[in-house]
Amino acid sequence: QLGATLLVAAYFFWSGLRWWIPFTLVISGGIGNAIDRLSRGYVVDFVKWAIPGSGIPFLDPFPIWNFADACITVALFAFLILFFIEPRQKKPSGA
């Protein structure tokens, strides 16, 4: 999943189709979660971080997640960044 996602994202980036990178991440994350859901009946979360004794409830332990969740989250931020930095086309004025 990671290798295919990186190859497709690199292709879209270098071809100038930057909006396809987050789209590819959303699709690959969705497919990864769907494969888990269909084959196991639930989505496997396998990345667990903890900062013991941090005193911050959100970081002790940090929420458990998987790579597909990370792809979808990164895609959301990429969509937002592209939306705000991508130049807008000017609408034709007149008639």
Known catalytic residues are 45, 69
Q: Which residues pair with 65 in a beta bridge?
A: 47
Amino acid at 3: G
- Report the C-alpha gap between 66 and 29 in whole angstroms: 9
Q: Please check whether residue 39 is in contact with residue 45, taking contact to mean a CB–CB distance below 8 angstroms.
A: no
